Amino acid sequence: MTNDPEILKKLTILASEKAVFRDGARVISNNLIAPLSAVLDEIDNTTLRRKLTFRAQDTFLSLLVAGRRVLSLVDTSDDLENSAPYLNVPLSRDDSETFEAVASILFNFADQKSSVSVESLPAETAVGRNEIGISVGRLAQLLEVDLDEERPKPVQHFVETCGDAFAACLFETDGLWNSQAKDTIMLAKLQKIADQQWPKFRNQYENCTQASTQPHLVVLEGGAEHSDLIAATWAQGEATLFACATKDFDHIHKVWRGLFTF
Amino acid sequence: MVSDELDALRGQFSACKTIAFADLSTGMILMTNGDASVERNSLDRLCTEAALLLSKIGQPQFGDLDANTAIAGMQNQIRVFLRAPSEPNDALCCIGTHELDLAAFLPQARACLQRISENG
């Protein structure tokens, strides 16, 4: 029996995101997506039998995964302590000690400050009779992660994080503009841009860069009176137009990188 | 020599991979740094992007004035566009990684463009 809403959700995610690769591995976690949630999402999205190797700098962990279930822990880096007794031990609900130990190792792995990448390879080992594995739902329950939790969209998170650095800001979501401003003159200018220039500019820019599904940041110096910089960022159906001082741009750019560049 | 100026700037900033000198009035890239490995189509798009962000004189597409500097970020790349103050159709278009130190790069790039524009 197919789960149409779940399939639709996953197709939407696949269609809306452009994967970022680093050293051949796909980056799955940044400041917006917690490592543990990213790892569980990856397991949740794995149907065929694969060996998933998750890396956070020098720390790594390999899992045998199939049918959205973790079948066994295959390998880990030495810094993930106490993993040796549980390597290649088939997981099942009947063996709670192994299951909880692997969950604990996964938790320790995810307690990293750096971004996490994943490498997915066909699994070499033959299918064993006792390969029942643990569902990602059960794993999430044990690790107290809500897989269905609605995550904040990155542009909204960007606006909330950088709000104090903006002289004025317009934030578009679901076709409506919300505003915040210390400088009402700049807010009026941004509103004029939103009304008269924004749709055409955005369309032209996406055509020009041929990257309509990617997040964008555009910053102009000298583009408006009364403000050092005017800028726009947009991704995943949300957009913000903002004005700020040059001295605040370093902070704003750092936040943007943390959210949008992995 | 324009190419020497572009190569010298590229040599100072390893995170900046491509530096191109462009004429916004014709929408053409006139020169790139020597070790740039960008296809012609990509260079054409880069110049189109420069013209859109910096705008042709008196025709801002975003804002009410012609910008003199534009920074464009995407997931795996940052691009910087500069307009020469003395010759507004002269522009420098730069492609780099997000490791590019903008605070250090921008003054050097502006000085480079100014020299190219004045000696051109």
The per-residue pLDDT for range A88-126, each reduced to its tens digit, is: 998 888 888 888 999 999 999 988 777 889 999 988 765
**Cβ neighbours for B99, distance < 8 A, ≥ 6 positions apart:** B15
Per-residue pLDDT band at A2 (split at 50, 70, 90): low
**Testing the interface with B: which of A208, A229, A248 to mutate, by most B Cβ within 10 A?**
A208
Tokens of A140: 């999430």
φ/ψ (deg, to 5) at B39: -70, 160
Q: Say if strands A216-221 and A168-173 run parallel, antiparallel, or are unpaired.
A: unpaired
Average pLDDT on B43-67 reads 91
Distance separating alpha carbons of residues A211 and B18, to the nearest angstrom: 19
Average pLDDT on A10-26 reads 63
Residue type, A176: L
Q: Which of B48, B49, B70 sits opposite A220 (nearest CB)?
A: B70
Question: What pLDDT sits at residue B56?
Answer: 80
**Testing the interface with A: which of B24, B38, B62 to mutate, by most A Cβ within 10 A?**
B62
Question: What pLDDT sits at residue A127?
Answer: 56
Cβ separation B48–A260 shorter than 8 A: no
Contact A226/B at CB under 8 A? no
Nearest CA in chain A to B45: A208
Cβ separation B103–A250 shorter than 8 A: yes
Q: Which of B63, B73, B103 sits opposite A224 (nearest CB)?
A: B63
pLDDT in tens, A166-212: 999 999 988 889 999 999 999 999 999 999 999 999 999 999 998 87
Question: What pLDDT sits at residue A185?
Answer: 94
Question: What pLDDT sits at residue A12?
Answer: 58
Question: What pLDDT sits at residue A125?
Answer: 61
Distance separating alpha carbons of residues A204 and A223, to the nearest angstrom: 18
Question: What pLDDT sits at residue A8?
Answer: 66
Question: What pLDDT sits at residue A130?
Answer: 63
Element holding B72 (H helix, E strand): strand B69-74
Residue type, A108: N
Question: What pLDDT sits at residue A112?
Answer: 74
Question: What pLDDT sits at residue B113?
Answer: 96
φ/ψ (deg, to 5) at A111: -85, 50
Per-residue pLDDT band at B16 (split at 50, 70, 90): very high
Average pLDDT on B33-60 reads 88
Mean pLDDT, all residues of chain B: 92
Cβ separation A217–B75 shorter than 8 A: no
* Angle (deg, nearest 10), helices A249-260 and B102-119: 110
Q: How many CB pairs under 8 A join A and B?
A: 95
Question: What pLDDT sits at residue A131?
Answer: 73
Q: Which of B49, B66, B102 sits opposite A208 (nearest CB)?
A: B49
Residue A225 pLDDT greater than 90, yes or no: no
pLDDT in tens, B72-114: 999 889 999 999 999 999 999 999 999 999 999 999 999 999 9
Question: What pLDDT sits at residue A94?
Answer: 82
Tokens of A34: 């917690």
**Testing the interface with B: which of A197, A220, A228 to mutate, by most B Cβ within 10 A?**
A220
pLDDT in tens, A130-143: 678 899 999 999 99
Cβ separation A225–B64 shorter than 8 A: yes
- Which chain B residues touch A193 with a CB distance below 8 Å? 62-63
Per-residue pLDDT band at B119 (split at 50, 70, 90): confident
Question: What pLDDT sits at residue A70?
Answer: 94
Residue A229 pLDDT greater than 90, yes or no: yes
Answer whether A168's CB lies under 8 Å from A187's CB.
yes
Contact B60/A at CB under 8 A? yes
Question: What pLDDT sits at residue A172?
Answer: 93
Average pLDDT on A11-27 reads 64
pLDDT in tens, A24-72: 778 888 777 788 999 999 999 998 899 999 999 899 999 999 999 999 9
pLDDT in tens, B26-41: 999 999 988 878 888 8
Residue A214 pLDDT greater than 90, yes or no: no
Compute the nearest-CA separation of B75 from chain A (Å). Answer: 4
**Testing the interface with A: which of B38, B65, B75, B105 to mutate, by most A Cβ within 10 A?**
B75
Q: Which among A236, A232, A252 has a CA at the least distance from the CA of A33?
A: A236
Compute the nearest-CA separation of B51 from chain A (Å). Answer: 10
